[in-house]
Structure 1
Amino acid sequence: MIGHEPTGEIVQLGEGVTKFKIGDRVYIHHHAPCMKCRHCQNGNFVMCQTWRNSKLIPGGAAEYCLVPANNLDKDTLILPDSMSYAEGTLIEPLACVVRAYKRARLIPGDTVAIMGLGVMGQMMAVLAKYMGAAKIIASDKVPFRMEHGLKLGVDRVVDYTKESFPEAVFSETDNKGADIVMVCPTYPEAMQEGVQCAGRSSRVLLFMGPKPGTMLSVDMNKIYFDEIDLISSYSCGPTETREARWLINHGVSTAEQMITHHFPLEKINDAVALSRQAQNSLKIIIDIND
């Protein structure tokens, strides 16, 4: 069953559970690591096979779900009293952005280019600004998302159907290029364009997963002499979810910024259809009890 990033109330506890009590308001991560393998010991939880095999039963889009013991122990978080269930659904996606910027090594003063202003791109903009980015340049083609990005602090938004994004990035940076390029689209042409946006000693990060067999052709001369790091970032672990909870609780990313639509469970197909349109929407949530 589909559905992740769930929040809810604990209504029943299994044998031996001591960290939680009935009535606790929680966020549940659908993946949880073993904390014992070499990947976990290195803090790279998403490479843990236990993490990859774990899931919620049957999934988040249900009135009730069973949380396996490891998920409950390793990455189920109590929501602060001030945090709504809706805000709690932002924990996992924001945690993915937190981890991505760790891998991209964002430092204050960096110029960040963001390709795609869906909800993840919007979160990237908000977090980059919070982390001290000197300039944020983004691309999209949907007017609603472009305008929303500007409201959240993007310095320049480019309609990539009308203007070259790499040319705009170099124009905005005195011909230096971006320090970090966040590539949200999954097609290879987007990654190629991301490399074209990159300045010297920069990092180009692939944020979403392409289809198996997707091949990439890039200018290896530019990669070599400009010392450009090509990086990917897949999901998040317990460290980042806790950081994201703190960021949300302190107003860095809010439900008002990111959530555009609420649907009751019986209209989940309408919610999925709206999400696939990728037009005048960002994060869409299912309110199970409505």
Structure 2
Amino acid sequence: MKAISVNLYGKQDLRLESTELPPIGDHEVLAEIVTDTMCMSSWKLLQAGGSHKKAPADLATNPVMLGHEFCGKILQVGAAWAHRFSAGQRVIVQPALPRESPFVPGYSYRYIGGNSTAVIVPAEVIDLDCLIPFEGRAYYEGSLCEPLSCVISAFDAQIHLIPHTYTPVSGIKQGGSLLLIGGTGPMGLLAVDYALHSDRKPKTLVVTGRGEEKLQRARRLYPSDEVEVHFVNVSGMSVDEQAAELRRLGGGGFDDVISMVSVVDVLAMAAGLLNRDGCLNQFAGPQDASFTVPINLYDVHYNLVRVVGNSGGTPDSAALAAKLVAEGRLDVAKVVTHVLGLDAVAETTQDQPVIGGGKKLVYTHKAFDRIDLDAVDPASPLGGILAAHDGLWSPEAEAWILANMPDITVPD
């Protein structure tokens, strides 16, 4: 079977081309991919090429399919999985395979990645429970389960102690104070949504960001009657000024801090804002392998503060994300700001840092230039659909793209 895919051959070398998929084996699944959402991790992979921890060193002769936030439907099931999956079933993939090898879909495999019209799901993905059924309304919702799973895992990675013991409990402190640093990007906004609508909620949520326009949008999209929410514009504020304002809003400090940035003085400040038994999560992945931040070990010893981190989600967090999205408890459409066809993937991946905005949503079977949702003509058919949904992406918008945009083609 021929697929059309965006393949990585090395640093700054992405190619849109036909890929011949071999017949599947008994322990594999053939799937059609409909959507993929972009992650800055793909930009980092493009900059590093074969030197990236998750990429094979011989990319020039062993290219990989790019993209790891994808959703599609099963076309064919190998005999070993016929009892568990069926053709036509919608599925997502948790790319962070729970094993020692760093190789994962979207970074490391020849025949599975989100920026392809079809993929072969290998046996290890299914063996590790990382091929997950999805029952949501639209494919884009399934794609966004992967970044949401990373957020859920970050919340699960938080650790607190049962009072007067050293027995740890997973999760943010119920009814406590939570600070999201740099939380107005797409991952941060998914974290806001999860904090407001999961079973374990803080009493106070403080979110920092830069740029009043982004903060105003977040205030409009994420109100709450249950949680006291503050969005703080830290542009132009010194670290000391930030610390004073955040301490005031947090009631003296924070039980939980999740950082979406890798900035030394900001993280040092964050550690100093922790309450007794507080927990700091370094969520953002530093590009510098020697990235180091001074932490007060006196507080670690006497005030029981701790630092944790997580890279990617888990099969359980992906399954929970799929459930929450399908139930409508979280509206992941709020983080989508651009849509594009497969032919615009290479350029958009490279330009992610300068494009800005939230998630870039790829329709893999379509060919069209990147569309900024804020710039869509309100008088156009797509503009009318957006207006009916308060400017947000929707199943109706997805259906319009699938019905009206031209199909992708690549010369042989």
> Is the pair's TM-score, using the shorter chain for normalization, greater than 0.5?
yes
Question: Root-mean-square deviation (CA), in Å?
Answer: 2.0
For structure 1, the residue ranges without an aligned partner over 5 or more in a row are 34-47
Equivalents in 2 of 1:126, 1:273: separation in Å? 28
Q: Does 1:169 align with 2:169?
A: no
Please give the alpha-carbon distance, in whole angstroms, between the structure 2 residues aligned to 1:271 and 1:238: 29
Deviation of 1:274 (Å): 5.3
Match of 2:130 among 63, 72, 75: 75
Structure 2 residue aligned with 1:122, among 189, 210, 232?
A: 189
**Secondary structure class of the residue paired with 1:289:** coil
Does residue 1:277 correspond to 2:341, yes or no? no
Structure with more of its chain in strand, by fraction: 2
Equivalent position to 2:294, from 195, 207, 217: 217
Q: Which residue of 2 aligns with 1:95?
A: 149
The separation in 2 between residues aligned to 1:143 and 1:2, in whole angstroms, is: 33
Specify the alignment match of 1:259 in structure 2. Answer: 336
Contact 2:96 2:313 in 1 (8 A): no
Partner of 1:86: 140
TM-score (norm. length: structure 1): 0.86
Taking the aligned partners of 1:160 and 1:224, their CA distance within structure 2 comes to 31
Q: Is the 8 A contact 1:28 1:72 kept in 2?
A: no
CA 1:97 to 1:278, structure 2 compared with 1: closer, same or farther past 3 Å?
Answer: farther
In 2: Cα distance, 1:155 partner to 1:192 partner: 23
Change (3 A) 1:126 1:17: same
The secondary structure found in structure 1 opposite 2:76 is: coil
State how 1:163-202 maps to structure 2 within 5 Å: 163=237, 164-174=241-251, 176-202=252-278
- Report SS of the residue matched to 1:161: coil
Contact 1:31 1:71 in 2 (8 A): no
Count of matched residue pairs: 272
Q: Which amino acid in the other structure matches residue 102 of structure 1?
A: D
Q: Deviations over 1:108-130 (max 9, x none)?
A: 21111001121111111111122
Q: Which amino acid in the other structure matches residue 94 of structure 2? A: H
**2:85 aligned with 1:20, yes or no?**
yes
Q: Paired residue for 1:8?
A: 72
Q: Does 1:30 align with 2:113?
A: no
2:151 & 2:261 partners in 1: Cα distance? 15
The answer to whether 1:287 aligns with 2:287 is no
Greater helix proportion: 1
**Do residues 111 (structure 1) and 177 (structure 2) align?**
yes
Deviation at 1:49, TM superposition (A): 0.8
Which of the residues 28, 41, 53 maps onto 2:103? Answer: 53
Distance 1:275 1:144, change over 3 A: farther
- Rounded to whole Å, the distance in 1 between the matches of 2:114 and 2:141 is 16
Aligned-pair distance for 1:68?
Answer: 0.7
Counterpart position of 1:243: 320
Residue 117 of structure 2 corresponds to: 63
Residue 118 of structure 2 aligns to a residue in which SS? coil
2:233 to 147, 159, 180: 159
SS in structure 2 opposite 1:109? coil
Within 2, Cα distance between the matches of 1:146 and 1:248? 24
Equivalent-residue separation in structure 2 for 1:273 and 1:196 (angstroms): 36
Separation in 1, partners of 2:213, 2:148: 21
Contact 1:139 1:165 (C-alpha < 8 Å) held by counterparts = no
**What per-residue deviation string (whole Å, max 9, x for no partner) do you get for residues 115-158 of structure 1?**
11211111111111223211111111133432232231372222
Q: What letter is aligned with 2:231?
A: V
Distance 1:156 1:247, change over 3 A: same
Q: Are the aligned partners of 2:282 and 2:310 in contact in 1 as well (CA < 8 Å)? A: yes
- Deviation at residue 270 of structure 1 after TM alignment: 4.2
- Retained in 2: the 8 A contact 1:268–1:286? yes
Which moved further from structure 2: 148-157 or 103-112? 148-157
Q: Percent identity?
A: 19
